Homo-oligomer: A and B are copies of this chain.
């Protein structure tokens, strides 16, 4: 299912080495001020840069091909397309029958009977997070003045992130990272029992992002070690403000008006220069190889804006479902 959302519906399409990647956003209220330029700040934050970034550089220029007129949304679906310019598919030819460990190569081959586009991960590539970031930028405009802000807390277990990434890159290796996202200004009441808890929907989209292995809200994995008297957040006013925020801004799956807080575990990129073991599917025999292509040492560096986007599309959907956003935005 390449579509998510009930009222603010996001569809994702494209492949890493195909013609383009893109998104269709259906249900965005009419009248929202929007131009391709509004997406650039978030798109830039997703670009490689800093230590250990992939040398594949894409211009990532968004074309909004439907749904806007005179700088405002019309109420019709927004179609946002990014042409792929800098794909080097030949890197992958040699490894057509050698699935890369940690990647979807083998499961995609099994699932789609070998007809999947395997070049650079195809539709499973992290490049598909680009249209997610674009849709997230639209969602954030809708959500303003509420904000979402994510940051990389540590990489490879260290807060000296730059040094950690540089060291791993020198070793032909990669590192993971831990990201925290905080949302401010969201009203109480977002989330829909039983299944559409705000945590349910955020986790749903977050785990669609390649490389995520865990998510926790508020006290998260520390909560099992707590007692109730410690974990409970005392209410200190009738609007729902709490003294502590171990719940991470929700109760019963509904926002409670306090800061929304969650953390996301990002694994180290699977593609590394160091030799790895796999199997040659033609012979069934073990092989050793180095990952082809151009890759990031620490994809988590580029993740904060993706995490924000995932949360933003969920919260825009829940705000519309709760009718706190007008169907004509202005």
Contacts and interface: CB of A to CB of B under 8 A. Distances in A.
Interface of A: 1-4, 6-7, 9, 11-15, 18-22, 24, 26-27, 30-31, 65-67, 69, 72-79, 81, 99, 101-108, 110-113, 115-117, 121-124, 128, 154-157, 168, 171, 173-178, 188-189, 191-197, 199-201, 203-208, 210, 212-238, 240, 242-243, 246-248, 250-256, 265-272, 274, 276-279, 281, 284, 286, 300, 321-323, 326-328
A77 B116 CA distance: 11
Nearest to A217: B213
B213 A219 contact: yes
A195 B12 contact: yes
Q: Which 6 pairs, one residue from A and one from B, show the smallest C-beta to C-beta distance? A: A104-B252, A214-B216, A113-B328, A157-B225, A174-B228, A76-B123
A277 B236 contact: yes
Given A218-B213, A235-B277, A76 B6 contact: no
Given A77-B2, A267-B226, A199 B207 contact: yes
Contact of A176 (B27, B207, B231, B271): B231
A254 B76 contact: no
A251 B66 contact: no
A73 B15 CA distance: 13
